[in-house]
Structure 1
Amino acid sequence: MPLRLLAVTFDAHDPAVAAEFWAGMLGRAVIDDARGPLLPGSETQVGLRFSHTAAEKAGPNRVHLHLTSATPADQQEIVTAALERGAAHIDIGQRPEEGHIVLADTDGNEFCVIEAGNKFLAGCGFLGEVACTGTRDVGLFWAQALGWPLVWDRDQETAVQSPHGGTKLAWGGTPPIAGPSHDRHRFDLVAEGDPTTEVDRLVSLGARRIGGDDGSVALADPDGIVFSLSQD
């Protein structure tokens, strides 16, 4: 597949601080990049990038990260490490009986530390999931776009995963409002072949081209959420 997911990009008021927070949490190096500090991923773990924005955060993100834990004590250690790095506990309506712990990073981006024994994320690695608000159609779109197997398709919830395993990308919940939406997060893709061919293929799968600048093309997925495509 000549298309790969380079990173999930989050807009931040201070990208350097956000990148350092996540580098510490994930044990990754920060790479300086013209489009924002990059924490490279691997065949099994999704990369992260942080890009500057002056816009204020309006409501919960449509995309948030799930970190896994091995034991109850490990979960608490991860939470403590996050708090020491500047995270904070937040309430997004989670119920007391739910085992995951919801936090916000240094820029207010929500993430969860998942309880030990979670079967859905078993074997996915520390960054177990990129959880997205979205429809079943968009999950099917990304399975085809990335060439990743559809590993969950039930009750209007979908998930895809690299053929090598690792971090899952999942969609569910209330569908987003129709129309292109410039959220604080997006998928950054890289075309390892001809980018024009890849744009045409994505459009044939249901994406819409909506613009482009500094060497990248902006498209919207079937839910209207913007993502970018650049050449390797």
Structure 2
Amino acid sequence: MAMALRWYSTVVESTDHKKLARWWAEALGWEAIFETDEESVLVPPWALELSEKLDFHQVPPGMVFVPVEHEKSGKNRLHWDFAPHTSDDRDAEIARLVELGATVIDVGQPADATWTVLADPDGNEFCVLSSREQ
């Protein structure tokens, strides 16, 4: 097998990295496993128990939030896509995210898009896709 890299984490810069990490932990139902003045680390709760059983390359990525002095400017060139399961209420999930502090935004998506674009409290774009089985 060819050597491959493990997607270890996604790093997000923020002027208040602890607050934004707590927001994402609530939004995703993830756990903060480390928090200092230099970084806050989130992982899926099931990843902690599975990481000991999985091969290194199969362990899912986490999210790392780090402090910066500057505010976000411009549209992200990279964003997350999240999908609800078909048994979930997609509209209720979007409403929950908005209640937590997300904003529904327009980045030029078509009017009949099957996804909804939102921004987290720091303005980082992400999408809630149509519901799916897999």
TM-score, length of structure 1 as denominator length: 0.47
* Other-structure match for 1:71: 86
| CA deviation after TM superposition for structure 1 residue 49, in Å | 0.9
Q: 2:11 maps to what in 1?
A: 9
Determine the C-alpha separation between the residues in 2 that align with 1:63 and 1:4: 18
Distance of 1:72 and 1:113 partners within structure 2? 15
Contact 1:7/1:40 (<8 A) preserved: no
Offset, 1:33: 4.2
- 3-state SS in 2 of match to 1:23: helix
- Bigger fraction of residues in strand: 1
The Cα of 1:89 is off from its aligned counterpart by: 1.0
Q: Tell me the amino acid that sits aligned with residue 51 of structure 1.
A: V
Structure with the greater relative contact order (CA < 8 A, sep ≥ 6): 1 or 2? 2
Whether contact under 8 Å (1:72, 1:115) holds in the other structure is: no
> Counterpart in 1 of 2:69?
54
> 83-92 or 39-48, which moves further after superposition?
39-48
Give the ranges of 4+ consecutive aligned residues of structure 1 lying more than 6 Å apart after TM superposition. Answer: none
Q: Structure 2: where are the runs of 5+ without partners?
A: 48-57
Letter in 1 for 2:81: H
1:113 corresponds to which letter in structure 2?
V
| Residue 84 (structure 1) aligned with residue 99 (structure 2) | yes
Which amino acid in structure 2 is aligned with residue 60 of structure 1?
K
> How many residues are matched?
119
| Secondary structure of the corresponding residue to residue 7 of structure 2 | strand
Q: Which amino acid aligns with 2:110?
A: R
Report how far residue 87 of structure 1 moved: 0.6
Residue aligning to 1:32: 34
What residue is the counterpart of 2:53 in the other structure? none
- Give unmatched runs, 5+ long, in structure 1: 124-232
Paired with 1:54 and 1:5, the residues of 2 have a C-alpha distance of 27
Using structure 2 for the length normalisation, give the TM-score.
Answer: 0.77
CA deviations 1:115-172 (Å, max 9, x no partner) are 124xxxx63xxxxxxxxxxxxxxxxxxxxxxxxxxxxxxxxxxxxxxxxxxxxxxxxx
The structure with more radius of gyration: 1
Task: Using the TM superposition, name which of 2-11 and 102-111 deviates more.
Answer: 2-11
Q: CA deviation at 1:32?
A: 2.3
